[in-house]
Amino acid sequence: MATISAESLDSIFKAYDVRGTVPDQLDATIVERVGAAFARFARDEAEAGRHGPADRVLVAHDMRPSGPAFAEAFARGVTSQGLDVVHLGLASTDLLFWAAGHFDAPGAMLTASHNPAQYNGIKLCLAGARPVGIETGLARIKQDTLTGLPERDQKGSTTSVDALPAFAEHVHSFVDVAGLKPLKIVADAANGMGGLIAPAVFSGLPFELEVLYGELDGTFPNHPADPIQPENLRDLQARVVETGADVGLAFDGDADRVFLVDDRGQPLSGSLTTAIVAAAILEKHPGSTILYNLICSKAVPEIIRERGGKPVRTRVGHSFIKQVMAETGAAFGGEHSGHYYFRDNYRADSGIIAALVVLEVLSHAGEPLSSLRVPYERYADSGEINTRVRDAAAVIERVAEHFAGAAQDRLDGLTVDLGDWWFNLRPSNTEPLLRLNLEARDRQSCDRHVEEVRALIAAADDATKGA
């Protein structure tokens, strides 16, 4: 059995998934061993009664060049532990998570999401789409990957299933299909899985769909598949305006996230989309609990309350949100980063479901998205600003001391609320970075306070030199 170092695994096992550059950090040997370790973990969890049956594992991959070989390697690892494999083939991450709920089976998605072409990775879930993160199984999987597992005498088998038609039907269940109106949509797939998923889901609906960069190509020849970066929206914005489209949709590489562009080519933030979807969900499920993460706009809980819902603030990250959804029975949860979670989607996130809900809202609104959005936009935000620092924890403490007289909490990093403006400062899970999100009453105030906090961060970082 090949030797794998602990240091090499430290570089690829993240808080929520496995991710690294191919082949220097992540290769077929490691992927196969992760497959074996995951199979053993899933079987043990099932035998302990902590989730549904684990006699088979669903395996899917995105369009990255290493995807098919990695999916086969992962499958070899699974079958070496006596479990069967069901190949779903090319898929989006939200399709895989839905399938883990629909088929009540653990699943593995070979993807590096929005990361550049040289990356690949693995997202894992248990039956029912229960997330697997570093605190919920990934640490054990990492250890078993390091030591390696002996093959079992009885090997598993492999079969294939095309789950896309059933997934498309499931997505349709979130709206009244008969009430949808003709809309012109431009979808920028960025050569990612949105090029497969969007046409399948919108087929048969009264939409005119144009797909930009719909060819599946994991080398991303047109632009990175990371729609949270404004420069990656420019082609979509231009095409929406040029064609007079009603809305633009920008998917990330594995198509579990979506960002929207209105009819004037102006992007909607993740907070704004969260508010619009939350209002739509509350119309169908009055009084429901709705989750929002702590870097969402203050407008989100305001709108949830105004529409009769119960807002609950959460940490950033899918494992936390899914846990709180399970505890509260929340109907929906949104993140500023473009992840949208639905109770009736096994609490998993889905960009295409969120997009279809907004399209249903537009169908009934009688006004364009550019005006529909106005009541939901109440404040100016900074977006996420990353700063490289020597000691993130020390910098956060110095900033907290500076604002000692203001309301603070430590739900996730440091949040400081000064009434007319607030900010959150969180350390990255994977890099020596601090992530700043700030919101104020208007753009001028927002920009001024951003400079103020950035200056404090720089001063605090300088002070750590001699500490």
Per DSSP, the three-state class of 376 is helix
For 87, phi and psi rounded to 5 degrees? -80, 125
* Cis peptide bond upstream of 427, omega within 30: no
Cα(300)–Cα(334) distance, integer angstroms: 9
Give the helix/strand (H/E) hosting 418: none
Cα(41)–Cα(161) distance, integer angstroms: 24
Q: CA triplet 318, 323, 327: central angle to 5 degrees?
A: 145
Cα(405)–Cα(426) distance, integer angstroms: 20
Task: Answer for the pair 187, 198: CB distance below 8 angstroms, yes or no.
Answer: yes
Cα(389)–Cα(386) distance, integer angstroms: 10
Distance between first and last Cα of the chain: 46
Task: Answer for the pair 192, 253: CB distance below 8 angstroms, yes or no.
Answer: yes
Cα(149)–Cα(156) distance, integer angstroms: 15
**Which amino acids are annotated catalytic?**
113
Q: CA triplet 144, 16, 52: central angle to 5 degrees?
A: 70
Cα(152)–Cα(81) distance, integer angstroms: 5
E runs forming strands in 410-450: 414-417, 421-427, 433-440
298: tokens are 């203050």
For 314, phi and psi rounded to 5 degrees? -130, 170
- Tokens 């009688």 correspond to what residue? 366
Torsion of CA 116, 120, 126, 132, to 10 degrees: -70
Give the helix/strand (H/E) hosting 222: none
Task: Evaluate the CA torsion angle 279, 285, 286, 289 in order and state its sign.
Answer: negative
Best CA proximity match to 78, nearest among 112, 34, 110: 34
